[in-house]
Amino acid sequence: MKSGRAATFGKSAAQFLVGCVRQVVNARPRTEPDAGLLEAVKPWQQVFEHNPVMYFMVDRVGTVINVNSFGAAQLGYTAAELIGRSVMGVFFEEDRDFVRSCVALCLKTIDQSHTWEIRKVRKDGSVLWVRENAKAMLRADGEPLVLVACENITERKEAENALRQSEAYLAQAQELSHTGSFGWSAATREITWSKETYRIFQFEEGTKPEIPRMLERIHPEDRPAVLRTTGRAARECKDYDHEYRLVMGDGSIKYVRAVARAARDASGQVEFVGSVSDITATKEAERRLRDSEQRFRDYAETASDWFWETGPDHRVTQVSEHSDTITAPAGLIGLTRWDIAPDAALEPEKWQEHRAALDAHVPFRDLVYRSRDRNGQPIYVRTSGKPIFGADGTFLGYRGVCTDVTAAIRANQAEAALRKAQAELAHVTRVTTLGELTASIAHEINQPLAAVIANADACLGWLQRSPPDIKAARRSVEWIIEDGTRASDVIRRVRALAKRTEVEMAPLDLNGVVREAVALVQREMASHAVSIRMELSSALPKIVGDRIQLQQVLINLIMNGIEAMESVNDRPRELAIRSAASGDGAMLLSVSDCGVGICEQSIDRLFTPFFTTKSSGMGMGLSICRSIIEAHGGRLSAAPNQGRGATFQITLPLDREETS
């Protein structure tokens, strides 16, 4: 938007240019063609071209005789594109009659200036608002010429439109929210109201709001408090926020809330700007809620699915309306909970405890029992309740909530079955070919047995001395006991291995084996805050193997990774499982952790039977895993990661039928 100075400059430049044009026009012969006029204007072309105002020269029919480059550029044209064309082309069609009337007015009032505001349309279709100052003058040949200076007022118009729209939105918002606005001068007592404020007070819009009339509308019981609040705020120049009642013309009561912010004007006088809201509906809702507030608080404390109430005899007297779903049992009114539950006779102790709690009038929580839904299907219900008492302390019964927990119970049952399967699978994981471990087991047992024999011989030698060396003999016996215990521990570990099962080799989807194994250890990962990332290549060829044994290997490797990350606290605990085809007729499967890693000295011994880095480990897991993989014609290896942790990689041959 141009400033007032710019507008004045535009008018002055227009007047100056009119004078220049008049001199040239009057100086030219009457018979000279229009081209001569343009030639005569050339000395003034620089003034015309470089003035930062849009100028148009048009004849009586509206043909553009000349336009300055600045003005043409503002419209997105060159001057050559506009000269010779009708000036109506830069106006919207609906505005052209108005433009014609303005030109006609100028032609009727030669040498008189006229001003109007109008839209122009740019070459790209966008809008340019201008304030046009136009004057008609006569050329030497008597033909009129209209000179128009245009000031760009687009920004001002857009601001005005935005303000009008904002005011309209504000009025609509006030109407929808039942909130009006007001201004109040404490010194002059002058008040201004918005339309919605008039509606709230039910005063005719446009009438001058006055304090005496306002006070008459305020409820007599609230009037003193309003005067104290507003008077103190005016004296101390402080904001205020208060509620009071209005007595309407028909005698009805309206609740309002007035909020005002205090400020001082240029002369230092206190004035307020604020809002007044109709809160009658809110107050009525609060009143209704107060009547049943305790009941809703009880419900909130016991959560929700369907609510119930019982009388002092513990029989159901009320069930919430939304309990007509298929889940909620039907026909509950008049029954006790032990009448509803079909398992009451099967769990007498639980129900005896529950009835004792009810008779003691104490709250109870999370009682789970079996029931049947409206279709007769078995469901599990969890209920909680609290006793209710009258004003005189009389026991009135219970209020509470029932929730259908069938899905959760069945999920727990499935999880228990899964844990059982997991335990069995973990047990099977320890079952491997004892033949492969025979040498290691024999070695582990022969060492303590050889020591027992040696120590027994030594003991006899100490006892055969004269006198017998009892102290040395006792020491030998103690060593015998220690070595015997060692041997016993080895035998105990071996006996813990279950009987070997038959291997069932079949074509397998390795990715499916991975997903099944991961599913079995989800609980362990969750309890150790470990996340898993699976990067499994799609459309992999099948392998031949025993599904259970391969799952055993994967579970062992996953559990080792979880344990390796147990002490990690400075980074996320993440386990990565990747599958891919190696390109040489084999499949690759790797398990990577970000744990403590593997030292170089331990890598060669990791798969040795009874070697372990765990304080409570047998040292059999990785040895068994390697045995299983090698029995499948594959290979199991381990390597430390470049950063942190370790990676165990399995190589397995593909199904020959698929590769043939």
Three-state secondary structure string covering 276-305? EEECHHHHHHHHHHHHCHHHHHHHHHCCCC
Three-state secondary structure string covering 391-411? CCCCEEEEEEEEEECHHHHHH
Three-state secondary structure string covering 517-538? HHHHCHHHHHHCCCEEEEEECC
Give me 199's structure tokens.
Answer: 């509606």
Angle at 313 between CA 312 and CA 316, to 5 degrees: 90
Rounded to two decimals, what is the model's pTM? 0.31
Are the folds of 4-159 and 178-285 the same? Answer: yes
pLDDT of residue 622: 78
Q: Where are the domains of the chain?
A: 4-159, 178-285, 299-404, 434-495, 506-659
**Which neighbouring-strand residues pair with 257?**
243, 277
Which residues make Cβ contacts (< 8 Å) with residue 282, sequence separation at least 6? 255
Measuring CA to CA, how many Å separate 99 from each of 126, 161, 237?
19, 22, 54
pLDDT of residue 613: 58
Instruction: Please tell me whether residue 134 adopts helix, strand or coil conformation.
Output: strand
Q: What is the DSSP letter of 108?
A: H
pLDDT of residue 123: 94
Calpha distance 305→321 (Å, rounded): 11
CATH 3.30.450.20 fits 299-404, yes or no: yes
Is beta strand 574-581 parallel, antiparallel or unpaired with respect to 586-592?
A: antiparallel
Structural element, H or E, at residue 418: helix 406-429
Calpha distance 201→249 (Å, rounded): 10
Instruction: Please tell me whether residue 333 adopts helix, strand or coil conformation.
Output: coil
- For the structural domain made of 506-659, what CATH number should be given? 3.30.565.10
pLDDT of residue 244: 94
pLDDT of residue 133: 94
Burial track 33-64 (b if 16+ CB lie within 10 A, e otherwise): eeeebeebbeebeeebeebebbbbbbbeebeb
In CATH, what class is 4-159? alpha beta
Calpha distance 524→461 (Å, rounded): 56
pLDDT of residue 32: 47
CATH 3.30.70.260 fits 178-285, yes or no: no
Calpha distance 433→501 (Å, rounded): 10
Please count the other Cβ atoms lying within 10 Å of the Cβ belonging to residue 208. 10
Measuring CA to CA, how many Å separate 231 from each of 228, 239, 380?
5, 11, 65
Please count the other Cβ atoms lying within 10 Å of the Cβ belonging to residue 315. 15
Q: Which residues of the chain have pLDDT under 50?
A: 1-13, 16, 23-25, 27-33, 303, 323-324, 422-423, 425-426, 430, 432-437, 439-440, 493, 496-500, 615-616, 618
